[in-house]
Chain A
Amino acid sequence: MNRARILLAIATAGLATPAFAASDITTVMGPGGVTLRSVTVDLPQSDREFPGADAAAINNNCLTCHSAGMVLRQPPFPREKWAEIVNKMIQTYKAPIDAGDVPAIVDYLAKR
């Protein structure tokens, strides 16, 4: 993909910052006309929070590693399943979560 196309893509995406500062461009070339160009992008961030008056615990603990979107798109699960998922975040993925917040998070997720 060439620079013009990337800029075009960025323009279409409506991002304020261009993907490339001209001085950043470096290329590595190989036989057969293969050229690789350095890339700089800005990945969008999400400021979406879990909605609701009882969302404090989930908002404080569940947005460190991933934004809320995928969690909000999960199908309804029973409480035990949510407890298992929250436990996996803590045990497997090392989520820094206060044990005291876990029941409020699980309640929030199970309440549909």
Chain B
Amino acid sequence: MDQSHRVPMIGRRGFIAGAAALGALHHPTGALGAMARDADEAVFTTAFPQKGRMILQRTRPPLLETPFEVFDQGVYTPNDRFFVRWHWAGIPEQVDVATFTLTVHGHVDRPLTLGLGELLAMPRIEYAAVNQCSGNSRSLFSPRVGGAQWRHGAMGNARWVGVPLKAVLDRAGVKAGAVAIRARGLDEPVVPDAPAFAKSLAIDHARDGEVMIAFQMNGEQLPLLNGFPLRLVVPGWYSTYWVKMLSDIEVLAAPDDQYWTKMAYRIPDTPHASVAPGQAGYAQVPINRMVPRSFITNLVDGAQVAAGKPLALRGLAFGGDQGVAKVEVSADGGGTWRQAQLAQDEGRYSFRQWHLAAPGPTAGPVRLMARCTNTAGETQPLEANWNPNGFMRNVVETTTLTAA
């Protein structure tokens, strides 16, 4: 694996001499007071390889958010606009497909080292699935919480092609008594003794035949920043499990006791993962399946519309770990609801587009809401959840317009 990738040298303060000082990264700050003002202002960048215009949340390691207008352009999120989230800056800048390998080891009969050619030769599966960060929409938490201050753009939908994780595990022969698999990518911490990013899945989940080792996204190889050449796809579950640059799968005979599974990405074990700010002493569990969400995509907060003229609304919804059963829209702040028309079903785990012609609003402020119910009957709540990490937001969102 040593020759298959290279990691940049990182100076003590994280600077690389001579690195392009990019216009998009320039920020007019001087006084401390500017920090607070800057916090909510979107800064765009086109500086990242294989990526178009993105919202810059952090340069190193990259946190890039999909601008919201992209979600109005189709049911699939283009690869070059798909959000990016890395934890550690030791990200290989080169991946050589001829020497890259995926290792399967641990509690197995036959440890494996598979090249990409061997993986491509295995039977494939394909489906559409939403990849959403656990902390998507975190900046809307009230009171505010720490972490990447995403708006709604830490999510995307793609068609994934790959090999079922089950087939690779079967090839290695999982031994009786296995309880989980732990997945790791090529990314590395940049200081000694720090916890490398790795996530585990229960063995039955890993062998459900749907969890995928993906090598294509929307018909192309993955952008490097989205995990080239391989990433785990865990449909219906939050992105934290979708390990990028997947290079190592360890079958565990005991629960994962490493930091990123045991301590990080945990949610209150309460309805909607919600607690009161300041509350303590509640049980926590690892974040897991996603919950339904929906968005109006063709109108944004502050838009002006004509009073009395029918409103053509469209948007996206997803059911979390289930399909979308219905999307209802309210044009009066939740007083009355009308059922939207669902566009083509791209699969249980996909975004689903919807449309609705709402009656012309009366002059004044208009509060639009969209609410998704999934095929298991789970509906988005009208009240926002809260937890200290800003995870799992799925409240019915409100778009406020002015009709005149």
Q: Which residues of A contact B (CB under 8 A)?
A: 1, 6, 9-10, 12-16, 19, 24, 26-32, 34-48, 51-52, 59-60, 63-67, 69-70, 72-77, 81, 85, 92-96, 108, 111-112
Contacts and interface: CB of A to CB of B under 8 A. Distances in A.
Given A26-B98, A40-B94, A93-B194, A46 B60 contact: yes
B281 to A, nearest CB: 17
Contact of B93 (A28, A36, A40, A64): A40
Interface stretch (B34-42, B203-211, B393-401): B34-42
Nearest to B59: A46
Given A39-B95, A40-B93, 4 more contacts: A19-B49, A52-B32, A66-B61, A94-B193
Contacts of B21: 47
B20 A70 contact: no
Contact of B14 (A6, A63, A74): A63
Contacts of B148: 70
A65 B11 CA distance: 10
Contacts of B145: 75
Contact of A41 (B34, B93, B191): B93
A69 B14 contact: no
Nearest to A69: B58
A87 to B, nearest CB: 13
A32 B195 CA distance: 39
18 contacts: A9-B51, A13-B47, A28-B116, A30-B121, A34-B161, A36-B221, A39-B94, A40-B93, A40-B94, A43-B93, A45-B19, A46-B59, A46-B60, A48-B27, A64-B13, A75-B146, A76-B144, A108-B32
Contacts of A14: 22-23, 46-47
B97 interface: yes
B22 A44 contact: yes
A69 B54 CA distance: 14
A106 B224 CA distance: 36
Interface in B59-83: 59-63, 79-80
B16 interface: yes
Contacts of B79: 1
B59 A1 contact: no
Contacts of B29: 51, 72
Most chain B beta-carbon contacts within 10 A, residue among A30, A35, A60, A65: A65
A111 B57 CA distance: 22
Contacts of B381: none
A51 B31 contact: yes
Contacts of A12: 46, 52
A16 B304 CA distance: 42
Contacts of A95: 191
Given A6-B50, A41-B50, A72 B38 contact: yes
The 6 tightest CB contacts between A and B, nearest first, are A30-B120, A75-B144, A41-B49, A46-B59, A45-B19, A70-B58
B81 to A, nearest CB: 11
A98 B119 CA distance: 47
Contact of A51 (B34, B56, B61): B34
Given A67-B59, A94-B192, A44 B50 contact: no
Contact of B8 (A1, A31, A43, A85): A43
Given A30-B117, A94-B193, A74 B50 contact: no
A73 B192 CA distance: 27
A51 B224 contact: no
A47 to B, nearest CB: 6
A64 B224 contact: no
- Max chain B Cβ within 10 angstroms of own Cβ: one of A1, A19, A45, A46: A45
A44 B25 contact: yes
A15 B50 contact: no
A20 to B, nearest CB: 10
A13 to B, nearest CB: 5
A92 B34 contact: no
A36 B259 contact: no
A14 B23 CA distance: 10
Given A9-B52, A13-B49, A64 B149 contact: no
> Which of B35, B45, B144, B189: most chain A CB closer than 10 A?
B35
